[in-house]
Amino acid sequence: MIRKRGSFSSALEFVSHNTGMSEEKLLNDQKTYRIDGLEEAKDMLVKAMEDRKTIYVFGDYDVDGVCASAIITIGMTSAGYGEKTIVRLPKRFSEGYGVSEKAVDEFEAGQVLVTVDNGITAMPAIRKAKEKGMQVLVIDHHLPLQNGKGDPTIPEADLIIDPKAFPGSADFDGYCGAGLAYRLMGGIARDSRALWKMICLAAIATIADVMPLTGENRRIVKYGLAGMTDMNRTTTGLYALLLACECAERVTEETVSYKLAPCLNAPGRLFDYGAYESYKLLAYDRNLAPAKKMAKQQMEWNKTRRSLSSEWTVRAMEKADTHALMGKKPVILQIDGIPEGIVGIVAGRVAKHVKCPCVILTQAQGQPGMLKGSARSYGDIHLFDILKEGGGFLKSFGGHKEAAGLSLEDSKLEAFRRRIYAVYQQRVPETSADNDLYYDLEANGKDGESLRRLLEEIQKYGPYGQGNPQPVLYIRELLLTPTGSGYYRYIGGRSAVRMSSAELDCISFHDVEQFERIGAPALIDVMGTASINHYMGKSRHRLEFSYISESRTAQRKQSALAALIARKAAGRCQ
């Protein structure tokens, strides 16, 4: 059954409800968002530059950590201190997440360490840095560890900026690591072009890390997306990646999620120190020709990553189906042999498939008897809060509501499973399957002008994403225009199907033969999310649909006609 969700009559009403922002704030947010510690952090780095100290930047191997590290490089280079700023990222397989004691051993004593997108849980490593006489600045957006009493455990850094760890320390607490780095470097960079380069990278990281597109994040993403197609406002490396991904004309939230972010994540998933290749590309700002070669290599790595992800997703889903049928939720799988770098991707796909959180563990490289893995949540389930209840069985653990990383001895796996199953059963009640289809806004295709106004209004209040979901639009009685001999066309080698009306295109990448099966009618009812498609310098509204049927109006007319014919036939027989 098709049902309306809420009573929204306009896109503004829908977006304001979800974001808590007025129209003025949505369109013209001029607020200066307070983040405690920014001025002190700026002073710390300025003093380090005056004292000619080396600044070690320790990031992460995901898109956020790579972008954040590049942002600090750009900011410090703009301030004339690039040669004394050294970026070090974690080696995914041999070291794992976050700054480690091994990494700190590489740093010169008495210098400065800045962790970004990590550090809030790195007690031993930061303690070691302090023992070496280093100043330590932690820039993070993750939750801290807790002691046995449930109180947060904070590392012994000189200064910590982490709005999630210290509630109330910022007007807005939804930044990713790159967003915080952008705010800090905004006070250090000395030219406007550097500010544009940094906000472009912060926008990519904000979307890739699935941060809420509310508060200052909305402004970062809005300006970052608009700026990165201008070669004068972005690094040469990022522009080369846009060219390789064929999106240099326009970048959207979807472009980042489905093209840029996978490419930037790919080498870090395949190689121990692969994330550094993505960092080098994003920070590179010289000639375009070398940048294009670097970007081309990123694309090749992403093809390899995609192939591996597909192969192991099939294997994982087979095991997950068995666990789900036995009522074991969340799904906790041990899959030996799966490359560590794609475990998170596969866990996310399995979670969507079985409609509950998924944990995938595999034998840790070079650590006999140790399992290491990733977890992904499903729906609104707070994964971190559930998994921390099994913290007594874990060697390491970190994450947030939607995702987590963990490790444990293989001998403790069954006990960990039993504990998490019990906690999940207590906290997440079983619900009956809801097969209804829901929409937020509606329009009648017969009123083309009203439909166009609604489509334009939807675009006006973007960008959309986490915290500001796209409204689902239900269009009734949409009249299609003929395409050749029919009303639809397969595109991309039958990877998608497209049909068009005077006002917009309708496209689907899933179950592409659905329209043909319902008889390819000229008058349809269709439901999906609206965007604007930009191609060859032209723009057109597009609806990516999840539901399509022959218009109920047409069905009723056909039924009435059939009934009339039946009555006349019956009359002739009497």
Residue 45 lies in a domain: yes
Tell me how many degrees the CA angle 301-303-308 measures, rounded to the nearest 5.
Answer: 95
List the beta bridge partners of residue 146.
152
Residue 15 lies in a domain: no
Amino acid in position 366: G
Together in a domain, 461 and 498 = yes
Together in a domain, 490 and 458 = yes
Report pLDDT digits (tens) over 517-526.
Answer: 999 999 999 9
Secondary element (H or E) of residue 129: helix 123-131
What is the model's pLDDT at position 571? Answer: 56
Amino acid in position 18: N
Residue with tokens 């800090």: 184
Domain range holding 419? 327-427
Cα separation of 571 and 80, whole Å? 94
Residue 302 pLDDT more than 60? yes
Together in a domain, 91 and 214 = yes
Together in a domain, 290 and 244 = yes
Residue 268 lies in a domain: yes
Query: Do the bridges between strand 2-4 and strand 437-439 make them parallel or antiparallel, or are there none, so unpaired?
Result: parallel
Q: If we measure between CA atoms, which residue out of 302, 320, 303, 422 comes closest to residue 378?
A: 320
List the end-to-end C-alpha distance of the chain, in Å, as a whole number. 40
Strand segments (E) across 320-379: 331-334, 358-363, 370-376
Together in a domain, 471 and 508 = yes
**pLDDT interval class at 564 (50, 70, 90):** very low
Rg (CA), the chain: 26
Higher-pLDDT residue of 325 and 105 is 105
Q: Which of 63-77, 149-163, 307-321, 339-353 has the highest mean pLDDT?
A: 63-77
Cα separation of 245 and 241, whole Å? 6
**pLDDT interval class at 559 (50, 70, 90):** low
Say what angle helices 275-283 and 261-270 make with each other, to 10 degrees. Answer: 140
Report pLDDT digits (tens) over 154-201.
Answer: 999 999 999 999 999 999 999 999 999 999 999 999 999 999 999 999
Tell me how many degrees the CA angle 54-283-58 measures, rounded to the nearest 5.
Answer: 45
Cα separation of 301 and 274, whole Å? 10
Contact criterion met (CB below 8 Å) for 529 and 487: no
Together in a domain, 51 and 81 = yes
Cα separation of 388 and 405, whole Å? 11
State pTM to two decimals.
0.87
Please identify, among 303, 337, 370, the residue that sits at the C-terminal boundary of a domain. Answer: 303
Domain count, the chain: 3
> What's the CATH code of the domain at 387?
3.10.310.30
Residue 174 lies in a domain: yes
> What's the CATH code of the domain at 276?
3.90.1640.30
